[in-house]
Chains A and B, each alone.
Chain A
Amino acid sequence: MTLFAALASVVFGAMAKDTTQERLLYGLKVFAEFMVIGLVLGWILYFIP
């Protein structure tokens, strides 16, 4: 999941925004969102049989 989030956020970050700093921040934000949502969904699905 971490590798997936890293690869997807690299592409999203490189595509979006105008400056390098904005891209870096956006990439990190997308990475964090992937990780948090993945973990939350994982725990929710854990309790669903």
Chain B
Amino acid sequence: MVKTERLQAEEAEPAPGSAWLTGAAAWFVPGLGHLMQKRWWRAALMGGAVWLCFFVGMGMGGHLFDLAAEGSSPLLQVPPMIANLGTGALYLVSWLLDYGFKDDPAQAARATYEYGNTFLLIAGLLNYLTMLDAFDIAAGRKP
């Protein structure tokens, strides 16, 4: 389907409720949106990349962001928090366990700290892409 045809189809048919549910599931558990549609390889590749990215980031001592900021404006925390939030349940469980959120100088002194931060941010952003892909497939906008 060429782009113009795809756009026309989108205008004509709103996304079904199941597509929104799939999108929400894809956000909450990385890879689940594709698993629900029996796209095993996509789920393994895209979801697996997000999970691996998150745990590598955690292993490197990365920091997760929330609105509680020490010494800086909470507004500055919002963009990285949005990126981190992309990992869905991974972020929420870490938040509930208070794991990865503390401003620990010893953790920040690790050579891999900034790399870890980057991996955690990218994990969330990649999962947003994965979520959109799952949504598009569920809505019939993508084969």
Binding site for B on A (CB under 8 A): 3-4, 7-8, 10-12, 14-15, 18
Contact = CB atoms under 8 A, between A and B. Distances in A.
For chain B, the bracket of interface size reads 10 to 19
Contacts of B46: 10-11, 14-15
Main secondary structure on A side of the interface with B? helix
Interface of B: 42, 45-46, 49-50, 52-53, 56, 118-119, 122, 126, 129-130, 133, 143
B56 A11 contact: no
B126 A7 contact: yes
Nearest to B41: A14
A15 B26 CA distance: 14
A7 B42 contact: no
Contacts of A18: 143
